Amino acid sequence: MNEKSKLTRRDFLKVSALGAAGAVLMPSALAAAPKSAKKKSSANDTIGIGFIGLGQQAMHLLAGFLTIDGVRVLAGCDVYDVKRARFEKRVKKYYAEHGQKCKVDLYEDYQDLLARDDIDAVVIATPDHQHALIAIAACRAGKDVYLEKPLTLTIYEGQQLRKAVREHCRILQVGSQQRSDAEFIHAANLVREGELGRIELIKVHVGGSPTPYTLPRQEVPAGLNWDKWLGPLPETIYYNSDLNPVITLEPEQNEQLWGAWRWYKGMGGGLMTDWGAHMFDIAQWAMGKDRNGPVKIIPAGYGPYEHLTYFYDNGTRVTEQEFDGGKQGVKIYGENGEWIQVCRGEFLASDPKFMPETKKKESDVPYETQVGHYQTFINSIRSRIDPNVPVEVGHSSNTMCILGNIANELGRPVVWNPIVEKFMHDPEADKLTHYQYRDGYKL
């Protein structure tokens, strides 16, 4: 590699922190953008934030956003009244402890929150099937968006969200926090600098595809608007408390499990999208395949292929399989047998020269609040420069995850054109890129 063109670790960190590799809204674009797209250019302006979806993940996000200078949490929205009450209690408690007056408004319908002029950006932490509808509505309402991963439930939804973000000149940050983690940045940097030579194989361990929904039907609790929770999903999906875990405030008892919707077909993508949106994301980033993707996907157990296998046009193979230790993570092999392995809180390598200079300290703080991912989003709102995980990156990483699920469901290889984002002469696979919304819902 030419030394002059080689990206240094310091430069790479700067690019990752600023999102400079993303699309920049040029002055001409801003001139044509809605008035709201030009707001918040000054570090002295307060950015008003609204939260949509107030479950377990939102509470982690809230703990982070509340601490950012120049940010004010103004409102929250959820279809379950007890979760709205918990959100209000936590926001008021934080501001009271910091000697600040606080008024926080609560909504059941996200459109009511989006209608407010004083809310500049929204944090969306709903189940995956609501991501596209709400994020697109937020873009149309002139709001910037912090959107939990995976970006969308389907490939088609991701395409439409990408279009909305650019048409409305919005900032969208995907909640793939590992892009702001120094150890994952270091791993991607090593590969992109060519330190391991040509990459032959990347093992990614995330877990399996979704399974059919089999939980027993239960009575919907008072205070939960189940129809709004379903949104575009069919009414045949019935309530079980695992889908929207019950909490109490007196006494306070928070969620005892993650919302199980993510494990079932029709509602989520299983571990393939839940953890894949983190770990497959790192694999594509390291390979330089952001905004791109695999060209062939072979399901686990097909012929001689023991593991789900992705092929890329540069000859690299990516497999979904467990490796040393069984943690979710990424292990990258170079052409000469050298390798690096990175998981959350763990970095291993075939040679000490590949190790990061400093090891991350153990912390009891939730992972989401340990890295500067939220601050990157706020910086992007002010600068109008894309963050380090813009919509195109979130979409291509999520597409990779979904393609694996499609190949597994069909039980045969599929051929994908990542440039035009279409299967090659495969109408059966085409049907799995989206689903029919129920009446009253459309993108």
- Residue that is written with structure tokens 């697109």 in the block: 136
- Residue-wise pLDDT for 4-27, tens only, equals 333 343 343 333 333 333 333 333
Polymer length in residues for the chain: 443
- Structure confidence at residue 40 (pLDDT): 56
Q: Using CA atoms, how far apart are residues 118 and 352, in angstroms rounded to an integer?
A: 51
Query: Quick one: CA dihedral 276, 277, 279, 283, positive or negative?
Result: positive
Instruction: Extract the residue ranges of the chain whose pLDDT is less than 50.
Output: 1-36
Beta-ladder partners of 123: 51, 146
Using alpha carbons only, what angle is made at residue 169 by residues 134 and 141, rounded to the nearest 5 degrees? 40
H or E, element range at 134: helix 131-140
| Helix axes 9-18 and 373-383, enclosed angle (nearest 10) | 70
To the nearest 5 percent, what fractions of the chain are helix, strand and coil?
35, 20, 45
What percent of the chain has a predicted confidence (pLDDT) above 70? 87
Q: Using CA atoms, how far apart are residues 310 and 441, in angstroms rounded to an integer?
A: 34
- Structure confidence at residue 325 (pLDDT): 80
pTM of the predicted protein model: 0.90
Beta-ladder partners of 298: 309
- Structure confidence at residue 299 (pLDDT): 98
Q: Using CA atoms, how far apart are residues 292 and 393, in angstroms rounded to an integer?
A: 9
Q: Using CA atoms, how far apart are residues 32 and 15, in angstroms rounded to an integer?
A: 27
- What single-letter DSSP state applies at residue 204? E
Give which of 326, 337, 347 is closest to 282, Cα–Cα.
347
